[in-house]
């Protein structure tokens, strides 16, 4: 640890904080359907899309129609992406002549990008053509993020409206999210990225003759455009296998800064948008405060763990100043690796700028635990906000039980119907993670894919299903996941984590929207106070995290004890 | 559900056109026209020959060159077509043995004193173009001897190639190995 390291972390979080209000206020305008400075350019495109697609933007949908539209959109997205992945050999812009993906790998990859997970059982540089990267994968970096934003908007309106039967129009919300929020930011960021060194070309590769006379083939591609939306949409799927550790995806400390800011920007600002739309900006800030507390705690833990280094390595005479450098790049430093690792997992991004599997046991435990808390800190674009609201609803319910009053959130009574759906949504994650991990841990073919022995092997399995069900996408990459078993079960985990969560949440939204919004009275538990923030943090830790402790004790915690005792596997 | 299929199919196709083709192609066009050096991979040239990308590490084994970090790419180090790290755990015997072997090699090449961590560990990308200034300084004796230069002269080139933190705060000081070696080659 160093003063400068802490300074870098503080500066980055400050910049992320400054972005929240302007971006959040802009999005509130966009989603209210108001004109913005981009309307003259984007308005006609938007109208044309509605005409061609047969969408009546004025017609609102109830929760069921909204949900079915969302599911239909994702189904068609999955089918087209699966087709592209299988058929890429016959499609244009494939100068390397990559063959189509196998059925199970294409299934896994298509589900992965449609669900905003971006788990990658393939290496971009040796398996995905430029066409696949652009017209297949990057499209879903936009659309999966827009899907998440649309669902979050429906939930927002449920609280903002009183005795309403509709939640908005899915097609309009998805279109406006893409055109007015994701696209303009992606264009600006992509161009800045090129200026800072990210390649952007349709060439496949260039061959260099090194100073010592050897040949080195260097892959190129439309990397900057992909990287920009990968961060803004909290997708995380890299152009290359090494993701944002790769110097072409993340060439310098300044691009690393921009990467982290980009991934934090929209998802944090959406919470502000929520507050503004429901008429309580303070509510937005209270939710942001709760996420910030846990995110900062995560960053601090990773930074301390990684700068402490690995005792058995240090014992060989390594200078301890740099900390644990296996799997890390020189240009970033431990502080920025810690922020990246905690942020990418707290917000469901899943890109990495250092290999998490080589982190110290506790440094690796934190990212895994942050995903297990439910990807709500502040989570994926949209999905983080609606997940956070589920936890807020749980918190007022628990508070209501403690003081013996009917729980209310933003003037809406929380009753048994909402609680049942909320509990169902929250239990999906541990079910998918722990059940699949338990089976994989006794299945010989699943164990053969491990890259490390001992407790770290279990951590690799646990991390994989955590990442899939949490729709994160990062990995302890020692695991060779491109097998029929992992491709299939991880894809099922991703589907459950996305849709078995989103559908009950939309059902809650439908039920909440129909209730009359009541004014706060003396008996109302205020939900924008430090007391509420503290309770929310506690509920997230208890409801979100506690069930994983037995599994974590056998994985990272056992590994930590082994490491301190000097045991190797 | 069926009523939703038309807008679903239409929007997926339209956005494939907008986000999947128009957006990346427009960025490619603007980038190639205004920032060709970066857009094409920040290539380093020796006269006409492309000797590498300043962003992508490459193997150096001759004594007269500074050496990069160990690389875990397969089948050989610094294979840019297969980026990646070792993904070995801190409790891995294999990683322990690899680091021990790297330390032996570092000592055999003339390293002494505290071992710079980056000199004996593999990066996450396997293509790290940089080393720490401490790592570079630990190689000065070997490089100076192989080139018949004084250690002070080589140290001067190293110092000139240290890239410092942006605004004194952001990032870590590092030395780009390819740029450093090209600078050395141009010293007469």
Q: Tell me, yes or no, whether A217 lies in a domain.
A: yes
Q: How many domains does chain A have?
A: 1
Kindly state whether residues B64 and B91 are assigned to the same domain: yes
Kindly state whether residues B18 and B89 are assigned to the same domain: no
Q: Tell me, yes or no, whether A359 lies in a domain.
A: no
Q: Tell me, yes or no, whether A233 lies in a domain.
A: yes
Q: Tell me, yes or no, whether A197 lies in a domain.
A: yes
pLDDT of residue A403: 84
H or E segment at A311? helix A311-314
Kindly state whether residues B32 and B90 are assigned to the same domain: no
Whether residue B75 is preceded by a cis peptide bond, meaning omega within 30 degrees of 0, is yes
Contact across the interface for A218 and B49, Cβ inside 8 Å = no
Residue A314: Cβ within 10 Å count: 16
pLDDT of residue B29: 98
Residue A432 exposed, middle or buried by CB count within 10 Å (0-12, 13-18, 19+): buried
Q: Tell me, yes or no, whether A520 lies in a domain.
A: no
Kindly state whether residues B69 and B156 are assigned to the same domain: yes
Kindly state whether residues B71 and B27 are assigned to the same domain: no
Q: How many domains does chain B have?
A: 2
Cα(B87)–Cα(B122) distance, integer angstroms? 10
pLDDT in tens, chain A (569 residues): 899 999 999 999 999 999 999 999 999 999 998 999 999 999 999 999 999 999 999 999 999 999 999 999 999 999 999 999 999 999 999 988 999 999 999 999 999 999 999 999 999 999 999 999 999 999 999 999 999 999 999 999 999 999 999 999 999 999 999 999 999 999 999 999 999 999 999 998 999 999 999 999 999 999 999 999 999 999 999 999 999 999 999 999 999 999 999 999 999 999 999 999 999 999 999 999 999 999 999 999 999 999 999 999 999 999 999 999 999 999 999 999 999 999 999 999 999 999 999 999 999 999 999 999 999 999 999 999 999 999 999 999 999 988 888 899 999 999 999 999 999 999 999 999 999 999 999 999 999 999 999 999 999 999 999 999 999 999 999 999 999 999 999 999 999 999 999 999 999 999 999 999 988 887 788 999 999 999 999 999 998 889 999 999 999 999 999 999 999 99
* Cα angle for residues A351, A107, A238 (degrees, 5° grid): 20
Q: Tell me, yes or no, whether A349 lies in a domain.
A: no
Tell me the chain B residues in contact with residue A138 when contact means C-beta distances shorter than 8 Å: 19-20, 23-24
Q: Tell me, yes or no, whether A565 lies in a domain.
A: no
pLDDT of residue B19: 97
Q: Report yes or no for ipTM above 0.95.
A: yes
Closest residue by Cα to residue B67 from B52, B80, B78: B78
pLDDT of residue A524: 84
Write the DSSP assignment of A139-184 as a string of letters: HHHHHHHHHHHHHHHHHHHHHHSSS-S--B-HHHHHHHIIIIIIHH
Kindly state whether residues B32 and B125 are assigned to the same domain: no
Q: Tell me, yes or no, whether A553 lies in a domain.
A: no
Tell me the chain A residues in contact with residue B70 when contact means C-beta distances shorter than 8 Å: none
Q: Considering only residues 73 to 92 of chain A, which have any Cβ-Cβ distance to chain B shorter than 8 Å?
A: 73, 75-77, 80
pLDDT of residue A404: 83
Tell me the chain B residues in contact with residue A45 when contact means C-beta distances shorter than 8 Å: 18
pLDDT of residue A522: 78
Q: Of B38, B92, B182, which has the smallest distance from its Cβ to A452's Cβ?
A: B92
Establish if B136 touches chain A: CB-CB under 8 angstroms. Answer: no
Kindly state whether residues B82 and B119 are assigned to the same domain: yes
Contact across the interface for B38 and A360, Cβ inside 8 Å = no
Domain containing residue B89: 42-185
Cα(A439)–Cα(A446) distance, integer angstroms? 9
Kindly state whether residues B98 and B177 are assigned to the same domain: yes
pTM passes above 0.90: yes
Kindly state whether residues B141 and B88 are assigned to the same domain: yes
User: pLDDT tens digits, residue range B31-49?
Assistant: 999 999 999 999 999 999 9
Write the DSSP assignment of A177-204 as a string of letters: IIIIIIHHHHHHHHHHHHHTT--B-S--
Q: Is the torsion defined by CA of A385, A388, A393, A399 positive or negative?
A: negative
Q: pLDDT at residue B117 above 80?
A: yes
Q: What is the maximum span of chain B, computed from C-alpha positions, in angstroms? A: 79
Domain containing residue A245: 3-279
Kindly state whether residues B30 and B47 are assigned to the same domain: no
Kindly state whether residues B28 and B56 are assigned to the same domain: no
Phi, psi of A526, rounded to the nearest 5 degrees: -70, 135
Q: How close A29 comes to chain B (CA, Å)?
A: 23
% helix, strand, coil for chain B, step of 5? 45, 10, 45
């Amino acid at each position: 640890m160093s003063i400068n390291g802490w300074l870098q972390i503080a500066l980055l979080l400050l910049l992320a904080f400054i972005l929240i209000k302007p971006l959040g206020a802009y999005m509130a305008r966009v989603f209210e359907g108001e004109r913005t400075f981009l309307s003259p350019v984007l308005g006609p495109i938007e109208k044309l899309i509605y005409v061609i697609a047969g969408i009546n933007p004025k017609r609102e949908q109830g929760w069921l129609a909204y949900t079915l539209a969302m599911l239909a959109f994702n189904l068609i997205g999955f089918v087209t992406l699966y087709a592209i992945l299988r058929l890429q050999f016959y499609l244009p812009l494939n100068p390397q002549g990559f063959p189509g993906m196998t059925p199970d790998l294409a299934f896994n990859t298509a589900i992965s990008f449609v669900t905003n997970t971006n788990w990658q059982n393939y290496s971009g540089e040796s398996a995905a053509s430029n066409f696949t990267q652009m017209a297949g994968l990057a499209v879903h970096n936009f659309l999966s993020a827009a899907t998440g934003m649309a669902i979050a908007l429906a939930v927002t309106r449920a609280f903002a409206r009183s005795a309403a039967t509709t939640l908005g129009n899915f097609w309009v919300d998805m279109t406006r999210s893409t055109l007015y929020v994701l696209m303009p930011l992606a264009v600006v960021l992509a161009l800045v990225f090129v200026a800072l060194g990210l390649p952007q070309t349709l060439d496949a590769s260039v061959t260099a003759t090194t100073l010592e006379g050897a040949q080195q083939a260097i892959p190129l591609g439309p990397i900057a455009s992909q990287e920009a939306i990968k961060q803004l949409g909290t997708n995380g799927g890299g152009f290359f296998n090494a993701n944002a550790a790769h110097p072409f995806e993340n060439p310098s400390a300044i691009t690393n800064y921009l990467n982290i800011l980009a991934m934090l920007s929209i998802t944090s600002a959406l919470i502000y948008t929520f507050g503004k739309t429901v008429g309580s900006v303070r509510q937005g800030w209270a939710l942001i405060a709760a996420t910030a507390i846990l995110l900062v705690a995560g960053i601090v833990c990773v930074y301390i763990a990684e700068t402490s280094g690995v005792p058995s390595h240090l014992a060989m005479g390594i200078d301890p100043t740099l900390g644990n450098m296996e799997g890390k790049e020189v240009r970033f430093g431990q502080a920025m690796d810690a922020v990246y690792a905690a942020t990418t997992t707290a917000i469901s991004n899943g890109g990495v700028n250092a290999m998490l599997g080589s982190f110290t046991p506790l440094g690796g435990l934190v990212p895994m635990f942050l995903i297990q808390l439910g990807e709500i800190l502040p989570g994926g674009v949209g999905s983080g906000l609606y997940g956070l609201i589920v936890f807020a609803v749980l918190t007022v319910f628990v508070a209501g039980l403690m003081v013996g009053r009917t729980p209310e959130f933003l003037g809406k009574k929380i009753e048994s119907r909402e609680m049942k759906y909320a509990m169902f949504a929250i239990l999906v994650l541990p079910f998918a993670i722990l059940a699949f991990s338990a089976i994989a841990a006794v299945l010989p073919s699943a164990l053969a894919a491990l890259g490390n022995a001992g407790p770290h092997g279990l951590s690799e399995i646990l991390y994989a299903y955590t990442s899939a069900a949490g729709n994160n996408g990062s990995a302890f990459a020692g695991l060779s996941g491109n097998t029929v078993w992992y491709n299939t079960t991880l894809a099922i985990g991703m589907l459950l984590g996305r849709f078995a969560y989103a559908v009950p949440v939309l059902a809650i939204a439908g039920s909440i929207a129909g209730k009359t919004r009541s004014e706060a009275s003396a008996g109302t538990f205020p939900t924008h106070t430090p007391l509420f923030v503290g309770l929310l943090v506690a509920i997230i830790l208890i409801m979100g995290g506690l069930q994983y402790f037995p599994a974590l004790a056998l994985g990272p915690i056992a590994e930590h004890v082994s490491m301190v005792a000097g045991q190797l596997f | 559900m069926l009523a939703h299929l038309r807008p679903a199919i239409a929007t997926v196709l339209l956005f494939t056109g907008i986000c999947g083709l128009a957006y990346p192609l427009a960025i490619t066009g603007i980038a190639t026209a205004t920032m060709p050096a970066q857009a094409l991979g920040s290539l380093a040239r020796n006269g006409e020959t492309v000797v590498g990308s300043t962003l992508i590490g490459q193997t150096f084994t001759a004594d007269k060159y500074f050496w990069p970090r160990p690389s875990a790419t397969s089948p050989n180090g610094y294979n840019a077509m297969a980026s990646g790290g070792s993904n070995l755990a801190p409790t891995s015997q294999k990683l322990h043995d690899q680091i021990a072997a790297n330390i032996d090699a570092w000592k055999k090449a003339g390293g002494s004193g505290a071992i710079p961590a980056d000199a004996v560990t593999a990066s996450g990308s396997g293509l790290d173009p940089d080393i720490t200034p401490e790592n570079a300084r630990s190689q000065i004796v070997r490089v100076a001897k192989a080139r018949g230069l004084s250690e002070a002269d080589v140290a001067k080139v190293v110092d000139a190639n240290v890239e410092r933190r942006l605004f004194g705060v952001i990032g870590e000081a590092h030395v780009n190995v390819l740029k450093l070696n090209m600078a050395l080659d141009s010293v007469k």
